[in-house]
């Protein structure tokens, strides 16, 4: 990619931040700077790269998507990151969300059930120089207990309910941001741990691919048992 193309993408990224994020209430300065810095087009397949900064999700293969910029920013803002956190991301996908988190937190663990997506994301993140991200392959609905507790957990696929394993892996005061619901309706929720209790908040309707795994949806009909 030549300098002229990179400059054009940089202008599109600035427009994305101003028109899609600031105008919709994304105000956290560190988050806006991260969204301005991370080259979203690097995480998008070549055939869709010209659409990298549009206001919508894009396919990345394996039936998965890269979320629209506003949803990435909103979910990240709800985590209330200060810079010293260990964060778990469930659903690596393209790796873009992990890159945003890495700009705002101390350490990021991200887990993906599709090995080919995990490997592609890992390569891109390495090429961009991120050293505080560890990519794992496995059932994200069970979390990564070996690296818990986490001050923040973000799930980028819709679950039938907040997975108990993820709630248990939250640190005291930790936040879980997750879309909850089925094929015909989901709500973005935040769960905050207070000892053995959890505070639940609801924010906006969203539309995500289903979370698969032991604590996720079981088949293509979004059935849960």
Q: Any idea which residues carry the catalytic annotation?
A: 67
DSSP string, the chain: --HHHHHHHHHHHHHHIIIIIGGGT---HHHHHHHHHS-GGGGS-GGGGGGTTSSS-EEEETTEEEPPHHHHHHHHHHTT--S--EEEEE--TTSHHHHHHHHHSSEEEEEES-HHHHHHHHHHHHHTT--SEEEEES-GGG--GGG--EEEEEE-SBBSS--HHHHHTEEEEEEEEEEEEETTEEEEEEEEEETTEEEEEEEEEE--PBPBSTTSB-STT----
């Amino acid at each position: 990619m030549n300098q002229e193309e990179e400059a054009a993408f940089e202008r599109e990224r600035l427009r994305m931040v101003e028109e899609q994020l600031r105008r919709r209430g994304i105000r956290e300065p560190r988050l806006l700077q991260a969204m301005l810095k991370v080259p979203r087009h690097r995480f998008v397949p070549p055939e869709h790269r010209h659409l990298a900064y549009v206001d919508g999700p894009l396919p990345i293969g394996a039936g998965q998507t890269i979320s629209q910029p506003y949803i990435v920013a909103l979910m990240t803002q709800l985590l209330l990151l200060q810079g010293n956190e260990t964060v778990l991301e469930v659903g690596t996908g393209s790796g873009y969300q992990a890159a945003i988190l890495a700009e705002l937190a101390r350490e990021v663990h991200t887990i993906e059930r599709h090995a080919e997506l995990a490997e592609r994301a890992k390569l891109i993140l390495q090429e961009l120089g991120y050293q505080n991200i560890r990519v794992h392959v496995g059932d994200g609905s069970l979390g990564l207990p070996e690296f818990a507790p986490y001050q923040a957990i973000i799930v980028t696929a819709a679950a039938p309910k907040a997975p108990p394993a993820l709630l248990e892996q939250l640190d005291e005061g930790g936040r879980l941001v997750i879309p909850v619901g089925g094929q015909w309706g989901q709500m973005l929720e935040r769960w905050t741990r207070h000892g053995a209790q959890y505070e639940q908040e609801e924010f906006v309707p969203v539309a995500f691919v289903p979370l698969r795994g032991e604590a996720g949806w079981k088949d293509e009909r979004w059935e849960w048992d």
